[in-house]
Copies of this chain bind each other. A is one copy, B any other.
Amino acid sequence: MKPFNTNLDLYDDSEVSKLFQSPKITLPENINFGIGMMVFPTPAQVSEACKQALDRGMTFYAPTMGHSDLRAAIASKSSEEYGVPFDGTDVMVTPAGTNGLFMSLMSLAGPGDEVLFPDPGFPAYLPQIVLCGATPVAYPVREENDFVPDPKEIKGLITRKTKVLILNSPSNPQGVMTPGVVLENIAEIAAENDLFVLSDEAYKHIVYAPYQHESIVSLDGMKQRTVVACTLSKSFSMTGWRIGYIIAPRSLMPSLFKVFQYTMTGVNSFIQMGAKVAITQGRQFFQPIIDEMTPRRRIMIEGLRKAPGISFCEPQGAFYVFVNIKRSKLTSSQMGAKLLDEHKLITFPGSAFGKGGEGYLRLSYAIETEKIEEGLKRFHACMSVLVP
């Protein structure tokens, strides 16, 4: 038989997948620091609105770009949040954040284009760039720089072919935010080099006081060259709903339509009515999540401070800590396997997030506080032996 799409050989996740295919991964006594979501129920009003839409018979094709009232609600809330005026025609409803990123990339970049993405960063960036036929160019985000993108380093990687720069704040896997002053430097570079910015803001609402989310789209002149990709997954405990949105320059909308129409047709009609309630209520729904997560974050940070042989940057958003375990002399995957096998602790190997993630583990604190405490004990026990 012929090989399948050979572009797929350009990315490989088999090493980390192996960890999650281990028969030990499902043991009930495991503590799960590997989890990628917060297990809160979707707000009841959101589910209720969805059910009512279903009862009203909203089971036919929705408009490709999304229901106009949902798009208007997103535009109105986004105008508030970003301090920039948007209207519904600036918005496209997507099947959550990952697909929103992919639709954005496909509308922007193709063969011959280079796309800059953070390493370590969200594992979908590289495959998505490859699947667009564009060339992925990793820019490092370094621990010594608090995992914040370095504008100088980005500048050094720009060529005539660079088309898109991906930003992610708060970031996955590090949970850190890019400060406003850095965003300003990057905006300048984007303007000078005529780049589009794809700003992945999946975690924009999960931010811990006193930190505040800032977006590059709020900066002067950036609305016209920035695509913001958002999801309702984390903000509203809706991971299983698969709904999100893009805010994009109006000039890009026909291209987004062209891609979305022929690869997706549109988003589920009745779940958009649930999404409208979530968007409209906004902070009323996600502040309780932040309140619930705040002590978990504190316990995780304080526990890790006492752990031997590691280092990390304090996360400001999301629900991850990215921990440097290089002094253990083990690779991320080896360490992940050891923690699972010997300590019944599930973690996410940093190498899943790019070459720059080797030697790190992503620890999630999206679990109950007692479990965080027990997991920290197990982590300490392992590190104490490795780095005495």
Contact = CB atoms under 8 A, between A and B. Distances in A.
Given A39-B60, A131-B259, A259-B8, A268 B271 contact: yes
A30 interface: no
A4 B252 contact: yes
A59 B265 contact: no
Interface in A48-80: 50-51, 54-55, 57-62
A47 B265 CA distance: 21
Given A54-B47, A96-B265, A2 B163 contact: yes
Interface in A2-16: 2, 4-8, 11, 13
Contact of A50 (B4, B39, B54, B57): B54
A268 B268 contact: yes
Interface stretch (A107-115, A322-330, A355-363): A107-115
Nearest to A113: B5
Given A99-B263, A133-B133, A59 B7 contact: no
A238 interface: yes
A59 B42 contact: yes
Nearest to A249: B1
A118 to B, nearest CB: 16
* Band of interface residues on A: 35 or more
A102 interface: yes
Contacts of A258: 8, 11, 13, 127
A239 B271 contact: no
Contacts of A266: 242
A226 to B, nearest CB: 12
Interface string A217-246: 000000011000000000001111110000
A8 B109 CA distance: 10
A332 to B, nearest CB: 19
A269 interface: yes
Interface string A106-139: 1111111100000000011001100111000000
B241 A59 contact: yes
A211 interface: no
Given A99-B263, A108-B4, A194-B1, A270 B11 contact: no
Contacts of A98: 262-265
Given A37-B60, A131-B262, 7 more contacts: A13-B261, A41-B57, A99-B265, A124-B263, A242-B267, A242-B268, A268-B271
